[in-house]
Amino acid sequence: DARRRLEAAFAADPAFARRFAELSGSLEVRAADVSEHRLGLDEERWIDLAARVDLVAHAAALVNHVLPYPALFGPNVVGTAEVIRLAIAAGSVPVTFVSSVAVAGGA
């Protein structure tokens, strides 16, 4: 379950875990395939999600330093475009993009 994966990721840092717990009542966590059209959701779920979202936090990516670019294109480039499409469908809501490059020391 996507929510449990987030909880586990934030559990390592007490401040993150506490903040996630504070916000969890107003967060809707959805697992989706960002490389797919409409995030892999059927049209009904896509429309429902777009009608209710007020912010999109995009942290999905395939991070692999040995795969060729074509293998990374779907999850990273198409995925970002699909997330932006959702934000536009939702009435141009804000998108928060989380990048792993800073974690790798590249920023």
Residue with more model confidence, 102 or 69: 69
pLDDT tens digits, residue range 72-97? 999 999 999 999 999 999 999 999 98
Q: How many domains would you assign to the chain?
A: 2
Q: What is the pLDDT, as a whole number, of residue 107? A: 53
104 pLDDT band (50/70/90 cuts)? low
38 and 7 in a common domain:
no
26 pLDDT band (50/70/90 cuts)? confident
63 and 93 in a common domain:
yes
Helix and strand counts by DSSP (H, E) for the chain? 5, 2
96 and 72 in a common domain:
yes
85 and 43 in a common domain:
yes
78 and 60 in a common domain:
yes
40 and 2 in a common domain:
no
H/E stretch holding 82 reads helix 79-89
Q: What is the mean pLDDT of residues 8-15?
A: 90
Task: Name residue 9's amino acid.
Answer: A
Rounded to an integer, what distance in angstroms lies between the CA atom of residue 72 and that of residue 19?
31
- Which residues form the domain of 71? 34-107
Q: What is the mean pLDDT of residues 29-56?
A: 92
Residue 61 has pLDDT above 80, yes or no: yes
52 and 22 in a common domain:
no
93 and 77 in a common domain:
yes
